[in-house]
Structure 1
Amino acid sequence: MKITLPDKIIIERKIQPSVIRDILKSLDINPSSVIVAKNGNIVPDDVIIEDADELKIIAFAHGG
């Protein structure tokens, strides 16, 4: 699986089918602080991901 992190670093990982939330936790990323695109589509963190999928993790930006 190819994962693009918020800082644009790309990592490759072999995974068993997992939910996005578990993948984020394994990367020490708080699921409530990001949104995730699976194969180009924004999806919730309870979607199952397989090794052939591609994830892009997008950090929220906010200001005041």
Structure 2
Amino acid sequence: METRQKKACPHCSKGKLTNRARRPILVKATLFWLPIKRYSCNLCEKKSYVYGSVWETTDKKNTQVSSAQ
């Protein structure tokens, strides 16, 4: 089973990159063809660039405990 969650902040490693931040005009004008987006952390409020998607998938194994009788 896969779950999707937001990426962790590269600065504080505790928060999640949730809010979109504005990119400077120079970045928009020169790198418009790349899938680069800027996000801010919900805890430390520092801004980071993310290439691609901010979502990451994690495999969550469904473990069931079976009891032998």
TM-score normalised according to structure 1 size = 0.26
Which one has a bigger Cα radius of gyration? 2
- Give TM-score, length-normalised by structure 2: 0.25
